[in-house]
Amino acid sequence: MRRSMQSAVPTALAFVAILATLSLSGCAAANPLAALTSTQQPEETEPMLRAAGFESLKAATPAQQQRLKSLPALQLGYYRDKNGDANYWLADADDCNCLFHGDEAAYQRYENSKLDQIAAHDRDRMEAQQQRQMPPPGFGPGFGGPGFGGPGFGFGFGSGGFGFSL
């Protein structure tokens, strides 16, 4: 029990420090890139953030929950810490009641995984389109057997018999 309390204290302090920094910086609202919009749903975004190395910080107190709800929901934002390093965050008061927080490297991994996901979606869409454009077996050039097409000119039904050619 004592060990879980000790590990919860740094997490709570980190949450408070990040919220305080966001409050002081005004969520970096003066910077046009401060709120980077995300079109993904929480069930898609949160696993990607975790895999990229973002830390999930739970809002433990009513004050933290209230502050979390005041942040733009599911919008990736950033602030600069006292060393000038970019720190990225995403607030999710509704789904996980937490704030995701990561450094520049975590952000880059997250962006790369989003690009990979978009590329995979585009590949799937192109393959489906190609499948729709292909004629069914037996119809079209290069397909022998019964149906339209096959070697030679003209068309025929079946494998010989009825038909005509030019």
For 123-157, the pLDDT digits (tens) are: 989 988 888 887 777 666 655 555 455 555 555 55
* Calpha distance 6→10 (Å, rounded): 7
> At residue 28, does pLDDT exceed 50?
no
Least confident of 60-74, 107-121, 126-140: 126-140
Nearest 5 degrees, angle CA 90-CA 91-CA 93?
Answer: 155
Q: Which residues of 80-116 are buried (b: 16+ CB within 10 A; e: fewer)?
A: eeeeeeebbbbbbbeeebbbbbbeeebbebbeeebee
CA dist 100 and 91 (Å) reads 6
Single pTM value for the model: 0.56
Q: What are phi and psi of 148, to 5 degrees?
A: -80, 150
pLDDT at residue 81 is higher than 90: yes
Structural domain boundaries in the chain:
2-118
29 three-state secondary structure: coil
Characterize 12-41 residue by residue with b for buried, 16 or more Cβ atoms within 10 angstroms of its Cβ, and e for exposed.
Answer: eeebbebbebbeebebbeeeeebbeebeee
8 A C-beta contact, residue 138 and residue 146:
yes
Helix, strand, or coil (residue 106): helix
One-letter amino acid of 129: Q
